[in-house]
Structures are given as C-alpha cells and as structure tokens.
C-alpha cells in the first residue's frame, strides 16, 4: 500500500476555498498597495487566488500577528504558535488590518 502524499497544500480542500460568489474575482487594488507600519496588528487570511506569491503555510491561516518590518514586497510578521514565536514573510495580498472598537468610532 502506498502512503498518501503530504504536500504543501495537504488537507486544505475547505480551508483554502473562496466563497461561491467570490470565485474568479480579483482583489481590489488597495489590497496590493496597503502600507503597514512596524507594530501594526494584522490577520493572516490566505487568498487562494495567489498560490505562488508567497502564500504562507496553512497553519498560519486565521492567526493574528504583528508587523516587524519589510523585506522586499513582503512584510515580516511575528506570530505565536502556542508559546513559540515565529517570524514569517507574507505579501500584503494575504494580510488584513485589524481594527479595534476605538478606531471604528463606536463608544
């Protein structure tokens, strides 16, 4: 019996899937041009339309991290996996800024 392959996108059938009404859509230009500063909080949300452009591993999908710096077109993001601190390099296509209730103006 042959062992099942364990590739980079292993077990991502539902995780890296777009909603039906978003399939084929291209992200807005502001997604590419958004600038982050060191210390900004971001959510790592993998966009499956861009698999070859620095897609982070699926274990980081949905995690919150802090921007440490920039490296080329990508950002250095510090993420905690349990007690371990990891630094990953993620392009802005796979990042979303986090906003607090105070920034939204509710109060």
Confidence of residue 105 (pLDDT cuts 50, 70, 90): low
The count of other CB atoms within 10 Å of the CB of residue 12 is 15
SS3 assignment, position 31: helix
What does the alpha-carbon distance between residue 102 and residue 62 come to, in Å, rounded to a whole number?
A: 22
- Give, as one character, the DSSP assignment of residue 83: T
Q: Which residues of 55-64 are buried (b: 16+ CB within 10 A; e: fewer)?
A: bbeeebbebe
pLDDT given for residue 103 in this prediction: 67
pLDDT given for residue 64 in this prediction: 96
Domains in the chain with CATH codes: 34-98 (2.30.30.70)
> Average pLDDT in the 51-64 region?
89
With 90 as the cut, is the pLDDT of residue 65 above it?
yes
Q: Are 44 and 95 in contact (CB under 8 A)?
A: yes
> Average pLDDT in the 75-98 region?
95
Question: Average pLDDT over the chain, rounded to whole?
Answer: 88
Query: What is the reported pTM?
Result: 0.83
pLDDT given for residue 102 in this prediction: 63
Confidence of residue 26 (pLDDT cuts 50, 70, 90): confident
Based on C-alpha coordinates, what's the Rg of the chain? Answer: 16
Helix (H) or strand (E) holding 32: helix 29-33
């Amino acid at each position: 019996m042959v062992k099942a392959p364990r590739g980079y996108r292993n077990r991502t059938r539902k995780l890296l899937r777009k909603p039906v009404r978003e399939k084929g859509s291209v992200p807005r230009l502001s997604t590419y041009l958004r600038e982050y500063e060191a210390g900004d909080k971001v959510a790592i949300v993998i966009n499956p339309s861009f698999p070859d452009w620095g897609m982070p591993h699926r274990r980081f999908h949905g995690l919150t991290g802090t921007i440490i710096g920039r490296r080329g077109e990508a950002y250095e993001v510090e993420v905690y996996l349990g007690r371990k601190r990891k630094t990953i390099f993620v392009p802005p296509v796979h990042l979303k800024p986090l906003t607090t209730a105070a920034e939204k103006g509710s109060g």
